[in-house]
Amino acid sequence: MTAASTTSPREDRIPWAAMAGIIATVTVFAVAQGLTYPLLSFILERQGIPSGLIGLSAAMTPLGFIISAPLIPRLSRGVGGARLAILCSILAALTLVAIAWIQQVWAWMPLRFLLGFFANPLYVISETWLITITPAPRRGRILGLYSSIVSAGFSVGPLSLCLAGTEGWPPFIIGVSAFLACGLIMLAVAPRLPDMPDDGKGTSVGGFFALAPLLLFAVFTAAAFEQVMLSLFAVYGAALGSAEGRIASLITCFVAGNAVLQILLGRAAERFGAARTMLFCVLACLTGCLLLAFIFNTWLVWPLVFVWGGVSFGLYTTSLIELGERFNGQTVVAGNAAFAFAWGIGGMAGSPAAGLAMQLIGHQGLPLSLGLLSGVLALLLWVEARHHL
């Protein structure tokens, strides 16, 4: 294990300008991604596409995450972090134009793959920058702030569907504009951004799996929750007779929980430890899975999905905090890329698995599949905690 340094010349100051640029860039990018998942699911649902195939289509984006992840450490060193992020923003915008132009489920498969392939480097680069420049005593709250603001960007995406609708070019124009704005912001702040860390012994993405397998499984679980909710909650709600507007609003509420709760979870990680906070998050996820079926058609579903959204993404936030606490240098770059790989695996496996469960046992396959995943992670975290007592 590579131990993180306990002292740094940056401990006494925070480079707010660089942080603001990093967070603003990823937030605008998140707006476009948050819009894309439910929009494409609504379109496929109207075309009469089965839920399993809708889930498979959604899985193409995390597949792009998986394939691109091992390439990111070398690309970021060769091309430069800022240049790579700007290029990815432009290519993602062009890919979304192609998706809008060709609205056919099989044509969307490779295009959604490319969308994930181009999106992934920006997240890895941005989170590596943040971990590198954040003072250790404030890491929890600042990474929580990052997660909150980026999640707010995701929530704006589905919310924009309430305004722009889900038909024609208007929603796609919002997404393309957000991708291009991301590149412009990055171009403006590039001179203030640090170089990618190159100190310490290099670690591959595969090698990082041996260093922190439980962190990566937590990232896997967080990804499965997000991808399933964004891609299949529309199908779940439709099966229970909810209108598209209500479903879109519930998805927005789910993602808004991320935006509000990550700062609180970051502070909790500073006070009680990231591992304990992660265990709390997964137990809350499991509780939400057990309650969803009983309260979906009542007002209680709103606070449930709000908290559910916060604690499910909190698994990623607490994993990111632990990454910064336990590792440094090139290991952080490899760790972030491994997180992206695990996120891609979780998203890719989660959507088809939940979609298949819904086809086999009905719409309640969604909370049941997510509940099973939460239970496994909770058990592993409990065993790990007992091992360290």
For every residue of 50-102, DSSP letters joined together read: -HHHHHHHHHHHHHHHHHHGGGHHHHHHHH-HHHHHHHHHHHHHHHHHHHHH-
- Residue pair 26/126 in contact (Cβ under 8 Å)? The answer is yes
356, exposed or middle or buried, with CB in 10 Å at 0-12, 13-18, 19+?
middle
Burial, 178: exposed, middle or buried (Cβ in 10 Å; 0-12, 13-18, 19+)?
buried
More confident residue, 4 or 233: 233
When pLDDT is cut at 50, 70 and 90, the band that residue 4 belongs to is very low
Kindly report the average pLDDT of the chain as a whole number.
84
Position 334: which residue type? A
Give the tens place of pLDDT for each residue, 9-45.
444 466 777 788 888 888 888 888 788 878 888 888 8
Query: Residue 154: is its pLDDT beyond 80?
Result: no
CATH numeric code, 16-387 = 1.20.1250.20
Q: Dump the DSSP string for 309-356.
A: HHHHHHHHHHHHHHHHHH--THHHHHHHHHHHHHHHHHHHHHHHHHHH
**pLDDT value at residue 343:** 85
- Compute the distance between CA of residue 261 and CA of residue 238 in angstroms, rounded to an integer: 28
Burial of 168 (0-12, 13-18, 19+ CB in 10 A): exposed
Query: Left if phi > 0, otherwise alpha if psi is -120 to 50, otherwise beta: which for 241?
Result: left
pTM: 0.80
Which whole number is the average pLDDT over 187-203? 70
The domain segmentation of the chain, as residue ranges, is 16-387
Asked whether the predicted pLDDT for residue 278 surpasses 90, the reply is: yes
Q: What's the pLDDT band for 109 if we cut at 50, 70, 90?
A: very high
Average pLDDT for 136-140: 81
Which tops the pLDDT comparison, 370 or 4? 370
For position 1, what pLDDT does the model report? 41
- Taking the alpha carbons at both ends of the chain, their separation in whole angstroms is 20
